[in-house]
Structure 1
Amino acid sequence: MNSETLRPLFDLPRDLAYLNCAYMGPMPRFAANAGQTAYDQRQRPWELDIQDRFFDQPEALRAEAAKLFGAAADDIALIPAASYGLAIAARNLPLSTGQEILALDGQFPSNVYIWREKAAQSGATMKTVTRSANESWTEAVLAAIGPQTAIAALPEVHWADGGRVDLKAVSDKLRAHGAKLVLDLTQSLGTAPFDLAAIRPDFAIAAGYKWLLGPYTMGYGYIAPEHQSGIPLEEGWIVREGAEDFARLVDYADRHAPGARRFDMGERSGFQLVPAALESLKWLNGLGLDTLRDGLLARTTDIEDAVRPYGAHCDTPDRGGHYLCLALPDHAPKDLARRLMARGVSVSQRGDRLRVTPHLYTDGADIDRFASAIKAELA
């Protein structure tokens, strides 16, 4: 599907090349409209359909999220943030004195702080995995796994350099040592197929406002069936058996709703959030994950080809196909991202790298604008 068909679905000015989806994905117009309609309806609460708003729409969202993980709807929890889902994982995984938790060097903080705290409480240690310039993250992680490894808390794609982790290879070695795998898929879910059966994570989470093009404060967590009887962070009313019957809520239920629903956040029905998130996920699933993978790789490849003559290039081994982190020449301005924004290009700067993350709405005019701006600043 070409960008000329898709770009009008987004409120993207023609004089702006938005190449910053890893920072925040723009919601499609139809998703934003669904959210606005929900806000308008919220002014008249007496008109809200209880079954639809409290239960049916969240269940529809759960089912759409499950497709992205390659999971069953029962395996998905609705969460507000990556940190929330990671806290669920930390609460429900055993850890003993002398064991290790693996994390990547420079990993996003939400997938570090919770494990530092758990290690400190358990007498375990954090082991930071570093890589050499010509080494992939997969190679570095495989070399770090050993008998003391209890948990590997990893992304699929590193948020700063775009390097990919071969999660199947890592999972196989972890299981050989009896270790657990916790994934933050915020920078990858929805950009390519996720092979759940091969990777077999214990927990996997994703915030919904980046590549999933949804609202802030709505995310998704996969909880493997063997962990679904665990301890949630909250004890909300709506995750209990029989919660649909408002007349009997004080007939307190001991049993939780089935599957991963016990781990849902409080107020998970999010009247203003769920309708928008649902429309975005339905659209992504309608496009198909193979289409997303191929289209995003084609765009990042075209972008790299366009700017390579000016000294910007990707030197990350085995990068994620949707993710381009450009190494810059020594004379590049320290405030390059700000300068590019002044020329109508939105990207992110992470240290000495420029993070360029398009989506399927990115077209040839966007790539030309970026290349011209890079030429003006670097050539």
Structure 2
Amino acid sequence: MNQQAPNQTLLPSQRALFDIPEDVAYLNSAYMGPMPKLAVAAGEAGMRAKRQPWKIAPVDFFTESEAVRALFAQLVNATADDIALVPSVSYGMAVAANILPLHAGQTVITLAEQFPSNVYPWIELAKKSGAHFITIPRPSDDDWTARVLERIDASTGIVALPHCHWTDGGLLDLVAIGAACRKVGAALCIDATQSMGVMPFDVAAIQPDFLVAGGYKWLLGPYTYGYLYVASRWQNGMPIEQNWIARKDSENFAGLVDYKSDYQPGARRFDVGERSNFALTPAAKASLEYLLGLGTARIYATLKTRNDAIGERARAELGLDTVRADRRAGHYLGLRFGDAVPADLPGKLAAQQVFVSVRGKAMRVTPHVYNTEADIERLFAVLKAAL
């Protein structure tokens, strides 16, 4: 599972395109990504349009949301028909749990300390189905992939995983896991919120059944705007809500009184109601266009190079540990302080305008394209003073 940075020219800092003061070292994209100025402007323009709703035509309920659908499809090597627009990971996983078969005696596999939105739906489905819910303990060697592959067998019904662990960036080889799932007929459901947009992802190689990504972190989009990939074999499933725009011929507003049993093509039937949000959709579109313009492979190479250097320096200068580089997503870094991160450390950092977050036993240092070398120097200066 060698995560070498792709052979890409590294990106210069994009700081000028974000509203981040020079004296702020924001190293916390795993918590919430700041929207680029251009996305904020697009969202504000969309909000202003609502001041004069007579200028919003029926076609406007479709154009921007369809554009966003197609842009996200590019990120994962899918088609627009494979993508639904959802407000959250929990919504997308609820769709998956509503569709996927699970039988008494089968198992559902998740990871210890996995983000709850990809855990709770499967706990409830396992209870309802008489299935066994399995949580894989954190491996001492950080090899999540090996532990998952050991647990997948003929009894496995669903494997629900992230691309990388949200506490420290521990990486999973989803290509290998996807192949193991297909071998035993298990479904693979992925929460890619902590990697989407900055780490290459190919649904053709991984072949997940469902993939969900919240858009407000690494995708630099607005809150309550996310994306659901649905494999073609599940696209005739029952959605968890019945809204007008998901039905066939919903473009014809005058004909909405002629109720249809058929849906819009592909995964559109799983769209959340009021998916055409005139403030959020333009902002999400602008951020996706921006990231696609930079190129995921180039973003990943840039962030991996930076994080590898931070990790090596933290080990040499502060004696801190991390997940070893070949078992960690390159864009993600969790600094380990032994048994626990000092309770007052995040507050001390924030008081000096250095922003990180603590999850589990790791302090997440998660830069993005807007960070500079000055941010990293500020991080180490404050850490050395605080420890």
Give 1:22's aligned amino acid: A
In 2: Cα distance, 1:136 partner to 1:332 partner: 22
Alignment of 1:313 onto 2:321: yes
Question: In the TM superposition, what is the alpha-carbon distance from 1:235 to its structure 2 partner?
Answer: 1.0
In 2: Cα distance, 1:373 partner to 1:135 partner: 28
Give 1:9's aligned amino acid: L
8 Å CA contact retained: 2:169, 2:323 = no
In 2: Cα distance, 1:331 partner to 1:151 partner: 32
**Residue in 2 that maps onto 1:227:** 234
**Residue in 2 that maps onto 1:372:** 381
Q: Which runs of 4+ in 1 moved over 4 A?
A: 1-5, 329-332
Alignment of 1:36 onto 2:58: no
Q: Write out aligned runs for 1:211-250 (5 A).
A: 211-250=218-257
In 2: Cα distance, 1:62 partner to 1:123 partner: 36
Aligned counterpart for 1:293 among listed residues 283, 297, 300: 300
**Residue in 2 that maps onto 1:337:** 346
CA-to-aligned-CA distance 1:221-271 (integer Å, 9 cap, x gap) = 000001000000111101111111111110111110000000000000011
Question: In the TM superposition, what is the alpha-carbon distance from 1:305 to its structure 2 partner?
Answer: 3.0
In 2: Cα distance, 1:60 partner to 1:73 partner: 9
8 Å CA contact retained: 2:10, 2:298 = no
Aligned counterpart for 1:106 among listed residues 109, 113, 126: 113
In 1: Cα distance, 2:13 partner to 2:380 partner: 23
Alignment of 1:168 onto 2:181: no
8 Å CA contact retained: 1:19, 1:362 = yes
Question: In the TM superposition, what is the alpha-carbon distance from 1:312 to its structure 2 partner?
Answer: 2.2
2:119 is paired with a residue whose SS is helix
C-alpha change, 1:78 and 1:15, in structure 2 (3 Å) is same
Identify which range, 168-177 or 313-322, moves more after superposition.
313-322
8 Å CA contact retained: 1:3, 1:362 = no
8 Å CA contact retained: 1:299, 1:362 = no
**Residue in 2 that maps onto 1:146:** 153
2:14 is paired with a residue whose SS is helix
CA-to-aligned-CA distance 1:274-329 (integer Å, 9 cap, x gap) = 00000000111111111111011012122223332112231356011000001115
Question: In the TM superposition, what is the alpha-carbon distance from 1:351 to its structure 2 partner?
Answer: 3.2
Question: In the TM superposition, what is the alpha-carbon distance from 1:5 to its structure 2 partner?
Answer: 4.9
In 2: Cα distance, 1:126 partner to 1:208 partner: 28
Give 2:172's aligned amino acid: V
Question: In the TM superposition, what is the alpha-carbon distance from 1:132 to its structure 2 partner?
Answer: 2.5
8 Å CA contact retained: 1:119, 1:125 = yes
**Residue in 2 that maps onto 1:354:** 363
TM-score by length of 2: 0.95
In 1: Cα distance, 2:47 partner to 2:285 partner: 15
**Residue in 1 that maps onto 2:6:** none
Q: Percent identity?
A: 50
C-alpha change, 1:331 and 1:5, in structure 2 (3 Å) is closer
1:50 is paired with a residue whose SS is coil
In 1: Cα distance, 2:92 partner to 2:339 partner: 40
Question: In the TM superposition, what is the alpha-carbon distance from 1:2 to its structure 2 partner?
Answer: 6.3
C-alpha change, 1:311 and 1:47, in structure 2 (3 Å) is same
**Residue in 1 that maps onto 2:72:** 65
**Residue in 2 that maps onto 1:121:** 128
In 1: Cα distance, 2:341 partner to 2:58 partner: 56
Question: In the TM superposition, what is the alpha-carbon distance from 1:192 to its structure 2 partner?
Answer: 1.8
In 2: Cα distance, 1:3 partner to 1:67 partner: 20
In 2: Cα distance, 1:304 partner to 1:255 partner: 53
In 1: Cα distance, 2:340 partner to 2:205 partner: 44
Give 2:384's aligned amino acid: K
Give 2:126's aligned amino acid: A
1:204 is paired with a residue whose SS is strand
Give 1:371's aligned amino acid: F
Question: In the TM superposition, what is the alpha-carbon distance from 1:352 to its structure 2 partner?
Answer: 2.8
In 2: Cα distance, 1:264 partner to 1:249 partner: 17
**Residue in 2 that maps onto 1:25:** 33
- Structure 1: give runs of 5+ residues left out of the alignment: none
**Residue in 2 that maps onto 1:195:** 202
- Structure 2: give runs of 5+ residues left out of the alignment: 1-8
